[in-house]
């Protein structure tokens, strides 16, 4: 169990009692620094690389948090985990309005447009191409069990698609897809609207195929968000998101050719474990509806194009 008091103390914050996290899934503490509110949160092991990368984005005019200047180093290591202090950004939460979707797409396009052509920041290099059929079998058993307990029936087409994804991993790995440096967790609950979207959680930054990052936004943009719709983007909303994105980025024909396989692969990597690990999410009606819409889309996602 992490000691929040100790974490805050290493940054010079004086606290008398154990702080409460403002986020249910990991330690995120909101505290006062002078007359301003700041957030202390976990970041990844390549903390300094991430900070260099997001500072570059900020310098280019991107709306993204960067470390607060303190009397001590920021970020800091606590036990084996890196923590960072960011400013607390006040603003409105995403609610699924058309303008918000378009502006979010624009922000992701802007971020991708500033990526160096090689992994110059030495960010984590995406290398998850080693799923096997046994993992799919085990995950499907768990998903069917959770869904059954929640009174939901799972379309058997899901397992077929996941096994197809396992079979096409090496093809994707060798495809020579354009890569980008990106925060790689671009979804509604990591944005605050002021009124333009402002990215408040860039800590998953990685070097990854560009269309994988786009596929993640398509599939999980509405995940774990109370005000967001309880389904993935509609086809029209996706077109709107893409129209904002394409103000900055021209996707290649090569990327468009691999788009369907990329969507399935990102589902295999990012969505399958969510559905298998968190039984309580199946008991939450809005998350259950989101899962059902994800399953429908991965079984037949042809309408979600890159055009």
- Return the minimum-mean-pLDDT range out of 15-29, 134-148, 172-186, 260-274: 15-29
pLDDT tens-digit readout, 4-63: 899 999 999 988 888 899 888 788 999 999 899 999 999 999 999 999 999 999 999 999
Whether 3 has a pLDDT exceeding 90, the answer reads no
**Mean predicted confidence (pLDDT) in 286-302:** 93
Shared domain for 126 and 270, answered yes or no, is yes
What DSSP designation does 154 have? P
Cα→Cα distances 85→65, 204, 205, 246, 255, Å: 10, 15, 16, 32, 37
- Return the minimum-mean-pLDDT range out of 45-54, 134-143, 241-250, 279-288: 279-288
Cα→Cα distances 289→95, 125, 136, 296, Å: 17, 33, 22, 11
Nearest of 64, 100, 24, 90 to residue 201 by alpha carbon:
64
Range of the domain at 77: 4-87
**Mean predicted confidence (pLDDT) in 267-274:** 95
Instruction: Count structural domains, the chain.
Output: 2
Rounded Cα–Cα distance for residues 284 and 279 (Å): 9
Residue 39: the pLDDT is 96
Whether 124 has a pLDDT exceeding 70, the answer reads yes
Name the percent of the chain lying above pLDDT 70.
99
Residue that terminates a domain, selected from 87, 112, 146: 87
Shared domain for 257 and 123, answered yes or no, is yes
Residue 228: the pLDDT is 83
- Report the CATH number that the domain containing residue 16 is assigned in CATH: 3.30.200.20
Shared domain for 50 and 80, answered yes or no, is yes
What DSSP designation does 188 have? G
- Please tell me the chain's helix, strand, coil percentages from 3-state DSSP, rounded to the nearest 5: 45, 15, 40
pLDDT tens-digit readout, 149-167: 999 899 989 999 999 999 9
Whether 112 has a pLDDT exceeding 80, the answer reads yes
Residue that terminates a domain, selected from 87, 113, 147: 87
Q: Which distant-in-sequence residues (6+ apart) come within 8 Å of 144 by Cβ?
A: 154
Name the percent of the chain lying above pLDDT 90.
86
Whether 268 has a pLDDT exceeding 70, the answer reads yes
Shared domain for 165 and 245, answered yes or no, is yes
**What band does 278 get if pLDDT is binned at 50, 70 and 90?**
confident
Residue 2: the pLDDT is 66
Shared domain for 252 and 110, answered yes or no, is yes
Residue 296: the pLDDT is 93
State the chain's mean pLDDT as an integer.
94
Whether 270 has a pLDDT exceeding 70, the answer reads yes
Residue 12, phi-psi category: left (phi > 0), alpha (psi -120 to 50), beta (remainder): left
Whether 1 has a pLDDT exceeding 70, the answer reads no
Cα→Cα distances 236→30, 90, 242, Å: 37, 29, 10
- Look up the pTM and report it: 0.95
Shared domain for 81 and 114, answered yes or no, is no
**Mean predicted confidence (pLDDT) in 68-84:** 94
Residue that terminates a domain, selected from 60, 87, 114: 87
The tokens for 229 are 């719709």
């Amino acid at each position: 169990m992490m000691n929040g008091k100790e974490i805050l103390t290493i940054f010079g914050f004086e606290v008398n009692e154990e702080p409460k996290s403002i986020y249910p899934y990991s330690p995120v503490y909101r505290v006062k620094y002078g007359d301003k509110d700041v957030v202390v949160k976990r970041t990844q092991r390549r903390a300094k690389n991430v900070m260099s990368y997001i500072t570059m984005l900020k310098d280019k005019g991107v709306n993204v948090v960067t470390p607060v200047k303190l009397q001590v180093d920021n970020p800091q290591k606590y036990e084996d985990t890196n923590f960072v202090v960011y400013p607390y950004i006040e603003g409105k939460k995403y609610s699924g309005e058309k303008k918000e979707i378009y502006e979010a797409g624009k922000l992701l396009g802007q971020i991708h447009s500033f990526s160096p052509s090689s992994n110059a920041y030495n960010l984590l290099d995406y290398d998850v191409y080693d799923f096997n059929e046994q993992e799919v079998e085990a995950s499907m058993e768990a998903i069917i069990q959770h869904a059954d307990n929640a009174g939901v029936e799972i379309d058997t087409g899901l397992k077929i698609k996941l096994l197809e994804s396992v079979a096409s991993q090496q093809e994707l790995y060798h495809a020579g897809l354009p890569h980008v440096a990106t925060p790689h967790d671009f979804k509604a609950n990591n944005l605050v609207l002021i009124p333009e979207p402002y990215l408040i959680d860039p800590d998953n930054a990685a070097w990854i195929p560009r269309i994988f990052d786009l596929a993640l936004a398509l599939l999980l943009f509405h995940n774990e968000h109370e005000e967001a719709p309880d389904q993935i983007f509609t086809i029209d909303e996706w077109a709107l998101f893409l129209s904002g994105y394409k103000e900055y980025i021209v996707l290649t024909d090569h990327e468009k050719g691999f788009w369907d396989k990329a969507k399935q692969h990102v589902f295999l990597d990012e969505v399958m474990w969510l559905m298998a690990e968190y039984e309580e999410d199946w008991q939450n009606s809005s998350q259950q509806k989101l899962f059902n819409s994800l399953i429908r889309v991965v079984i037949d996602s042809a309408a979600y194009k890159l055009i």
